[in-house]
Structure 1
Amino acid sequence: MAGRVDSPAPVGVGVTSLHENLRSRSNFHTGKTRSWEATSGIGWHEPTPLDLFPAAARSLSVVVPAHNVGYCLPAVLDALEGQHCRHRFEVIVIDDASTDATAAIAVRHPIVTTVLRLPERVGGAIARNLGTALACGETVLYLDADMVLPPHAITDITARATDTTVLVGFRHNLPYYLHQGGRGVLAEHPQLGADHRVVWRPPVGRPLLYSGITLTECFDGRPLDHTRDFVDLGYGRRYVDWDLPRMVVTCLVAVPRAAVLDIGGFDPEFGRIGWGMEDTYLGACLIASGLLVIPLRQVVGFHLDPPDAEQQWQRKLATWPGTLARYWDLMRRPAPTGRTHSFIAEVSELLHTCEVLRPH
């Protein structure tokens, strides 16, 4: 089974669901990465020296949805302030009705340019939509409020971003007892192989969360390598439990703002139902609109687990069936497009209910 990439079954003519749209979309990004390497003189997956940073790089907005992350937010914002980047970038924090010191931490930090506070909790999908609407950058970097970036990450992303690419970073989870609120984390080096999209050990004899298939023997999964940096996930192909939309994880991903607006942003219903799948659906919509999904192996951040990580995980899993059902329902519908004006109108109404703690 090692290295297996499955092709979807043939489809009929004239069917236009989002799921079937993906079957016509290549993810052959090798031409783009090789062209960039030829121009820059460094590898696509190498950290970018400041003297190679392009003068006409795309502007960047970092959107951070935050709910009760006072335990780790200082370390996350300090890492953003410590980025080795020549160009200014904005940092927008959307406080999702936190009951701890999250909002106060964001307001006090010098790297943060905008802080909004929602009156009641709505979930990460809507919080990211608010941040996207406020963003001035051509590229939006969605960053979870528990992700600590290495100092070269912003330069790596900004130097490579285009209006036709989704740039995917990776995460290395750290248990709370190791990082204790982020103290000392920046002296360490996050490992690429800690991300499940890179090294994957699925359970045996139990249905997998996404596809529902059950493996009967141990499987040494290497999704990133075995799909040649996701190239082989084009045309709707699947690597066991992984497909191309699942590789788009909003803990650390950079996207063209205009493309997100055109598809109508994140589907807000996911946040109302529970946890997960809003980023997978966003990825599916962006792929259907013609964007390529390209990994950046050097952009790996520490994900700082909360003190009650196991309890939070169990609560999230309890809502998974509902969010998964919502995802597949949306995948049976046509791919969204031309929604910029309606998206801005809907988000503008919600903005009026928010408390502006640091104006944009």
Structure 2
Amino acid sequence: MTGPTLADALRARPNEHRPITDAFTAHTTLAWHQPTPAHLAAGTALSVVVPARNTAYALPHVLDALAAQQTDGQVEVIVVDDASTDTTFTVARMHLAVRTLVRLARPSGAAVARNVGTRLASAPTVLYLDADMVLPNHVLADVAARVRDDTVLTGFRHNVPHPAGPCAAPVLPDGPPQLAADHRVTWTPPINTLLPYSGITLTEPLDGRPLDATGDFQALGHGRSYYDWDLPRMAVTALLAAPRAAVVDIGGLDETFGRIGWGMEDTHLGAALIASGCLVIPLRQAVGFHLDPPDAAAQWQTKLAAWPGTLDRYRTLLTRPAPTGRTDDFTTATDQHLSDAEVITR
């Protein structure tokens, strides 16, 4: 395949989404970042794809929150169990919110799980949701009322530490999730320390505000950055809506990342979608509680140890042509994963 590199394509793309957000407000009289009444989602279908591996501690809360969504739009929930060794599969099988449940035959990584869910999705828009993200009841309406075939809508997360004790269950805080809890909103980087993503070192303390300082990510178009942040990094699949056709055309998420370790597959997904012509627009009202696992500290160390490898993979992909026209490859790969998976559809 020939053509401009992915990095070149990113430098060619703006992210000036104000005409879209202003037009939405003019048409609905609702502010872009305002929680959305259920009726504004009528006539719009969403496929919610939830990749899950050993998340039985959180998944009941996540599915309960999906069942409680106040939306007049059509919703299908697809849970893809990445060969969990706990009761994740049983939790999903018993919950009435789940329309389709897949159990992969072997651990394959979150990119594979999301791709399989995307393959089975019937709606034009796929909402990727982590299996530990608990949403307020307006979020699906927020997304459905604003979807377009050329936008990526990104929400935010408020981390909730797991209570102490081997048998403790997650406890949701009182009140709504807080936008400022997300690192893309409030960011205090270390000083005199190499930031591996950008390769810069800050010598003075910084009270970082990426979301505000970039005009809701608009200033990150044309490959620009805000210190260690750029536009692809803002596309976090913990809570992210994208046009299914665009995801399939770029070949879905790059599954190599999952074989290397943690991280960067959503950054690459964002980069590929931006290169294909999509704008990245935040939804400030779409903030979920992210429930940390009981062994959060140990998991984090394992993830960080693998990050250099996945970051190197991402940098390599930036030097290659921007992915496009890969629908057949996507279909072949996902059908292979499904060939020996268990699939339950209600």
Q: TM-score, normalised by structure 2?
A: 0.96
Question: Using the alignment, how far apart are the partners of 1:155 and 1:124 within structure 2?
Answer: 25
Q: Which residue does 2:8 correspond to in 1?
A: 20
Contact 1:181 1:304 in 2 (8 A): no
Contact 1:72 1:145 in 2 (8 A): yes
Deviation at 1:236, TM superposition (A): 0.3
1:342 matched to 2:312? The reply is no
Question: Using the alignment, how far apart are the partners of 1:173 and 1:37 within structure 2?
Answer: 30
Deviation at 1:212, TM superposition (A): 2.0
1:123 matched to 2:109? The reply is yes
Question: Using the alignment, how far apart are the partners of 2:104 and 2:328 within structure 1?
Answer: 22
Contact 2:160 2:291 in 1 (8 A): yes
Deviation at 1:187, TM superposition (A): 4.3
Which residue identity is paired with 1:202? P
Question: Using the alignment, how far apart are the partners of 1:306 and 1:50 within structure 2?
Answer: 32
1:260 matched to 2:247? The reply is yes
**Equivalent residue of 1:182, what SS?**
coil
Contact 2:79 2:92 in 1 (8 A): yes
1:333 matched to 2:320? The reply is yes
1:30 matched to 2:9? The reply is no
Q: Which residue does 1:91 correspond to in 2?
A: 77
Question: Using the alignment, how far apart are the partners of 2:162 and 2:104 within structure 1?
Answer: 27
Correspondences of 1:196-207 after superposition (within 5 Å): 196-207=183-194
Percentage identity across aligned positions? 58
Which residue identity is paired with 2:26? A
Question: Using the alignment, how far apart are the partners of 1:125 and 1:287 within structure 2?
Answer: 18
1:107 matched to 2:93? The reply is yes
1:45 matched to 2:33? The reply is yes
Q: Which residue does 2:285 correspond to in 1?
A: 298
Contact 2:233 2:267 in 1 (8 A): yes
Deviation at 1:196, TM superposition (A): 0.3
Which residue identity is paired with 1:175? P
Q: Which residue does 1:230 correspond to in 2?
A: 217
- Where do 5+ consecutive residues of structure 2 fail to align? none
The structure 1 residue matched to 2:58, chosen from 56, 72, 76, is: 72
Question: Using the alignment, how far apart are the partners of 1:15 and 1:92 within structure 2?
Answer: 35
Contact 2:154 2:281 in 1 (8 A): yes
The structure 2 residue matched to 1:353, chosen from 325, 340, 344, is: 340
Closer, same or farther in 2 for the Cα pair 1:103/1:216, shift >3 Å?
same
- Where do 5+ consecutive residues of structure 1 fail to align? 1-13
Contact 2:38 2:72 in 1 (8 A): yes
1:182 matched to 2:154? The reply is no
The structure 1 residue matched to 2:179, chosen from 172, 177, 192, is: 192
**Equivalent residue of 1:116, what SS?**
strand
Deviation at 1:182, TM superposition (A): 3.5
Question: Using the alignment, how far apart are the partners of 1:15 and 1:54 within structure 2?
Answer: 39
The structure 2 residue matched to 1:324, chosen from 301, 304, 311, is: 311
For residues 293-320 of structure 1, give each alpha carbon's deviation from its aligned partner in whole angstroms, at most 9, with x where no partner exists. 0000000000000111000000000101
Question: Using the alignment, how far apart are the partners of 1:87 and 1:287 within structure 2?
Answer: 26
Closer, same or farther in 2 for the Cα pair 1:186/1:89, shift >3 Å?
farther
Contact 2:43 2:74 in 1 (8 A): no
Question: Using the alignment, how far apart are the partners of 1:70 and 1:55 within structure 2?
Answer: 32
1:172 matched to 2:172? The reply is no
Which residue identity is paired with 1:286? L
1:208 matched to 2:195? The reply is yes
Aligned residue pairs, count:
343
C-alpha root-mean-square deviation of aligned residues, in Å? 1.5
Which residue identity is paired with 2:299? Q
